[in-house]
């Protein structure tokens, strides 16, 4: 896959705000992404400044100090449509999806409702609040289960539940991060991710961890997480799953770049888990890994993402 860097008119980027940090639970991951991308922007010779947090980005944009925003604010405030909506008021292009798609993708419950409504496969789930009785959940969904805050990323507040007595503590942990919690049937099988860049679905990655699941430690700190790219599937099967991932991305109205996570069950059937509209760009991150296999180095990836910035809402 050609990166076509020479065809990108960098002069139209103007002054760039590299948005990272913020105050979400994913602040440290966002800062790591920001450092990696800042090094690429330096190498590309682009005019930019690092801006910490959504409020500072919007204030700088309103003051006319930037022409374009490269958004690496993971989590609420930066990935959920708030920043995108504020920048749209000033006509400032921002990387990634627009207001509606960002809000839908950030909320795992809304994502699953849309996918289920149009017939895309996603594991059976229930929406849970603080007052809902545990006994009803256990009667409705068979163990094992995953418990997730509806609007967090990087597996923050997430638990695997294998025994009935684990469910209440898992719900309590998730409710510390969000008043809405998703309880989802666990899929037994390999986990995959599909990185999307513009019109292309990059080579699929199969993720393998010895931990209970692919949690925060496995994503950002563990040295024993294994990433398989190429993923090992036959080419025709990989193409089918790439098409499914594209459909899931498009169903939410996502644009520019992002990632779709899914699993295959024991019979090989795919199950969509979630969408990410501001994926990580750290040394452990999956989009740069897939891009490299596709022949797109990190600097070229950053330029492609920056070039895709739009004013869509």
CA distance 13 to 4: 17
38 contact partners, CB below 8 Å, separation of at least 6:
18, 48, 50
* Structure token pair of residue 287: 């989009």
Residue of 157, 220, 238, 245 marked catalytic: 220
Cross-strand bridge partners of residue 146: 160, 184
178 is catalytic: no
Residue of 274, 285, 304, 307 marked catalytic: 274
* Structure token pair of residue 37: 């991308």
Residue of 33, 97, 102, 154 marked catalytic: 154
259 is catalytic: yes
220 is catalytic: yes
261 is catalytic: yes
* Structure token pair of residue 101: 């798609």
Interhelix angle 298-307/27-44, rounded to 10 degrees, is 100
* Cα–Cα nearest to 302, from 29, 21, 39: 39
- Residue for token pair 């639970």: 25
Radius of gyration of the chain (CA): 19
91 is catalytic: no
Residue of 75, 157, 280, 307 marked catalytic: 280
* Structure token pair of residue 146: 């995953």
- Per the CB < 8 A criterion, the answer to whether 253 and 100 are in contact is yes
CA distance 278 to 196: 11
Residue of 21, 22, 26, 155 marked catalytic: 26
152 is catalytic: no
Residue of 79, 184, 238, 261 marked catalytic: 261
Residue of 33, 180, 276, 285 marked catalytic: 276
Task: Work out the number of other CB atoms within 10 angstroms of the CB of residue 63.
Answer: 9
Output helix, strand, coil percentages for the chain, rounded to the nearest 5: 40, 20, 40
9 is catalytic: no
276 is catalytic: yes
Return the active site residues: 26, 154, 220, 259, 261, 274, 276, 280
């Amino acid at each position: 896959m050609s990166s076509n860097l020479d065809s990108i008119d960098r002069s139209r980027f103007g002054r760039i705000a590299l948005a990272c940090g913020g105050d979400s639970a994913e602040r440290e991951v966002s800062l790591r992404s920001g450092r990696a991308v800042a090094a690429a922007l330096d190498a590309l010779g682009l005019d930019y400044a690092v801006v910490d947090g959504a409020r500072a980005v919007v204030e700088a944009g309103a003051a006319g100090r930037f022409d374009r925003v490269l958004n690496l604010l993971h989590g609420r405030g930066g990935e959920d449509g708030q920043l995108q909506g504020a920048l749209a008021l000033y006509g400032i292009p921002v990387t990634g999806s627009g207001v509606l798609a960002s809000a839908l993708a950030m909320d795992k419950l809304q994502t699953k409702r849309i996918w289920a409504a149009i017939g895309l496969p996603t594991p059976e789930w229930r929406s849970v609040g603080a007052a809902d009785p545990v006994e009803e959940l256990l009667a409705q969904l068979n163990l094992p289960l995953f418990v997730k805050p509806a609007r967090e990323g990087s597996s923050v507040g997430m638990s695997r539940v294998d025994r009935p007595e684990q469910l209440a503590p898992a719900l309590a942990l998730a409710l510390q991060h969000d008043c809405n919690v998703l309880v989802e049937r666990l899929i037994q099988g390999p986990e995959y991710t599909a990185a999307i860049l513009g019109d292309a679905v990059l080579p699929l990655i199969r993720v393998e961890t010895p931990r209970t699941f692919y949690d925060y430690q496995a994503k950002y700190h563990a040295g024993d997480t294994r990433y398989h790219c190429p993923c090992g599937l036959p080419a025709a099967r990989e193409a089918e799953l790439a098409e499914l991932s594209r459909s899931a991305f498009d169903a939410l109205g996502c644009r520019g770049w992002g990632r779709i996570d899914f699993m295959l069950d024991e019979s090989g059937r795919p199950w969509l888990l979630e969408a990410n509209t501001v994926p990580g760009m750290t040394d452990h991150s999956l989009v740069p890994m897939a891009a490299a296999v596709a022949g797109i180095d990190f600097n070229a990836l950053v330029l492609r993402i920056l070039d895709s910035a739009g004013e869509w809402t």
